[in-house]
Amino acid sequence: MRYLSAFLILALVGWAASCKKDPVDPPVEETKNLTLNFKAQFDGQALPMFTDVSAPNGENFQLQVFNFFLSYIEVQKENGDWVLVDSSAYVNFNSLVDLADAEAGVDLSYSLAETGNFTAIRFGLGVSPDLNAMDPADFSSAVALGDAGNYWTAWDSYIFTRTEGKIDSLPTAAGGDVNFLYHSGVDGMYQQKNFSKQFNLEQATSLNFTIDIKEVFYKVGQEIPIADNNVSHSGDPSTAEYAIVKTVITNMGQALELQ
C-alpha cells in the first residue's frame, strides 16, 4: 500500500508537471538591415496619386497609376564583389493617394547576411531579358512576376512600367481632360542603373531614391506629347507607339536619383 501511495503521488506530480505549458517563444522577426525607399515627386515635391499639379506648359497634370519593376538589385562590397539583394522587385505607388503617404514613399526591405562597408548599388529598371523570357505561370502569386496582370501576352513581355493619369486642356485649347496611359515593355526598353554610395550594413540602412515625374513627362527636349499621343502599350520597335514609351522609360531612368 505504501508503495502504491508513493507511485500515485509520483504519477500525480508527473501529471501536474507534464501539464505545465512550455513557454511559447514569440515569433522571431527577421531584422531588415537594408531598406530601399522610393518617392515619387513633381518638381521636388511629393506627388500623391490623383492629385493635380501644375505642369511647366500651364496644363494640370495628374498621375493615377505608377509602378515599375526592378531586376537584379545588387550592392557592391568594398572589395568590388557584387552581392545580390533581390532578383526582382515591384515598386507600386498606386495606393499612395494622401500627401503623408506620398512623402513616406514605398519601401523595399531586405535582410542581408553580408554586412560591412558597401560602395554602390545597381539594378535594372524593368524586367531583365532572362526573367522576361518567363511567364507568370512560372512564379508564385507571392511575387509580382506571378501576376498575369503584369504580363502583356500580345508582346510576350512583362509590363515594365505603368504611368497613367490625365491632363486638362491647355488654357488656350478647347476640349476637356485627356487621359493617358503609357505601358513600357519588351526587352529593348530595359534600363541598367548604377549608383555610387558609401554605406554600411552593420546597422539598419535606408537608401532613398526619388523619381521626379516632371522630368519624366516634361524633360526639356524629351517631352512626352500627351495631348497628341495619349496611349501606348509599347509594341513593335518600328512604331511611334514604341518610341514614345521608350522615351518614358528612358526619362524615368534618368529621373531616378539616389539621395
Backbone angles phi, psi at 68, to 5 degrees: -160, 155
49 scored as a contact of another protein (CB under 8 A) = yes
Quote the least distance from Cβ 146 to another protein, whole Å: 8
H or E element at residue 10? helix 2-19
Contact yes or no for 1/9 (Cβ under 8 A): no
Binding mask 198-237 for another protein (x = CB under 8 A): --------------------------------xx-x-xx-
Q: Of these, 35, 43, 50, 114, which contacts another protein (CB under 8 A)?
A: 50
Stretch that binds another protein, among 1-9, 74-82, 190-198, 250-258 (CB under 8 A): 1-9
CA-to-CA distance for 112 and 34, rounded, in angstroms? 7
Binding track over 129-168 against another protein, x by CB under 8 A:
------xxxx-xxx----xxxxxxxxx--------xxx--
Q: Provide the CB-side half-sphere exposure for 81 (13 A, CA).
A: 8
Nearest to 33 by CA among 96, 87, 110, 100: 110
Q: What are phi and psi of 233, to 5 degrees?
A: -110, 35
Q: Rule CB under 8 A: which residues touch another protein?
A: 4, 7-8, 10-12, 14-15, 18-19, 49-50, 64-65, 95, 97, 135-138, 140-142, 147-155, 164-166, 176-177, 179-181, 230-231, 233, 235-236, 239, 241
